[in-house]
């Protein structure tokens, strides 16, 4: 995405990109496309969206079959950060941005609690009542995914939605466990 691999550093909307590659260039081009409107005095918001959790597509859909078979596990390094968000909070965040005049410019649309890949994997396993035993090493991900693997799968992005929180957005699913329980149709636990 926009930021590139930042290791364990906390990333806000003010953070600069690192190890910029193709995805960063795409994101910067999208944001630049809004500049004429901003120069004309129109309030613009550029959403920098995390990994959207939905069984209908994306990372979660790809991981579910292995977990259902009891063969799930971590992809990449255990300490790489995974900036997740539920689809409900994506929709809510866009709606909030539409009606919140104080919100302008880049906005991280991620859950307020970024987690490591290890924590994500274990939480998914716990919610599904399945083991998490077969990890996929970074080297294999790179072999299969080619040069885009580092940007799309292995980049550690500990992004937080500072601007959304400062302006009062109330996340429906602030913890990974409840977010996963919701999207997978499981009973929620108290946040």
Measured between alpha carbons, how far is 61 from 30 in angstroms, rounded to an integer?
26
- Span 8-24, mean pLDDT? 89
- Whether 89 maps to a domain, the answer reads yes
User: Which residue would you say has higher pLDDT here, 39 or 21?
Assistant: 39
Whether 144 shows a pLDDT value over 90: the answer reads: no
Measured between alpha carbons, how far is 152 from 150 in angstroms, rounded to an integer?
6
Give per-residue pLDDT as tens, 151-165: 778 888 999 999 999
Cα atoms in the 13 Å half-sphere on the side-chain side of 155: 27
Write out the E strands in 29-125.
45-49, 51-53, 81-82, 84-86, 105-109, 115-116
- Whether 144 maps to a domain, the answer reads yes
Say how many domains are in the chain: 1
pLDDT of residue 23: 85
Binning pLDDT at 50, 70 and 90, where does residue 181 land?
very high
- Whether 102 maps to a domain, the answer reads yes
pLDDT of residue 190: 64
Question: Helix or strand or coil: residue 138?
Answer: helix
Give per-residue pLDDT as tens, 90-142: 999 999 999 999 999 999 999 999 999 999 999 999 999 999 999 888 888 88
Helices 176-183, 117-128: axis angle to 10 degrees equals 50
- Whether 72 maps to a domain, the answer reads yes
Of 90, 121, 93, 110, which is closest to residue 10 (Cα–Cα)? 110
Measured between alpha carbons, how far is 145 from 122 in angstroms, rounded to an integer?
23
- Whether 191 maps to a domain, the answer reads no
Whether 191 shows a pLDDT value over 60: the answer reads: no
Write the CA distances from 157 to 42, 80, 81, 149, integer angstroms: 30, 7, 5, 14
This prediction has a pTM of 0.91
CB neighbours of residue 36 within 10 Å: 10
CATH of the domain at 63: 3.40.50.720
- Mean of the per-residue pLDDT values of the chain: 92
Domain that holds residue 68: 10-183
CB neighbours of residue 110 within 10 Å: 27
- Span 33-41, mean pLDDT? 96
How close are the terminal C-alpha atoms of the chain, in Å?
Answer: 28
- Whether 189 maps to a domain, the answer reads no
Strand 51-53 and strand 84-86: the pairing is: parallel
- Whether 5 maps to a domain, the answer reads no
């Amino acid at each position: 995405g926009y930021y590139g691999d930042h290791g364990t550093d906390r990333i806000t909307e003010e953070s600069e990109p690192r190890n910029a590659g193709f995805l960063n260039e795409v994101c910067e081009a999208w944001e630049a496309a809004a500049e004429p409107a901003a120069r004309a005095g129109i309030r613009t918001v550029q959403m920098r969206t995390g990994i959207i959790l939905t069984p209908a597509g994306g990372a979660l859909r790809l991981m579910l079959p292995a977990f259902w078979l009891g063969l799930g596990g971590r992809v990449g390094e255990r300490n790489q950060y995974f900036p997740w968000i539920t689809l409900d909070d994506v929709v809510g965040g866009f709606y909030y941005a539409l009606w919140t005049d104080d919100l302008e410019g880049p906005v991280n649309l991620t859950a307020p609690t970024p987690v490591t890949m290890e924590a994500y994997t274990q939480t998914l396993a716990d919610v599904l009542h399945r083991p998490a035993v077969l990890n996929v090493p970074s080297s294999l991900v790179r072999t299969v995914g080619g040069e885009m693997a580092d940007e799309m799968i292995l980049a550690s992005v500990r992004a937080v939605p500072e601007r959304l929180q400062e302006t009062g957005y109330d996340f429906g699913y602030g913890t990974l466990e409840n977010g996963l329980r919701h999207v997978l149709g499981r009973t929620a636990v108290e946040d």
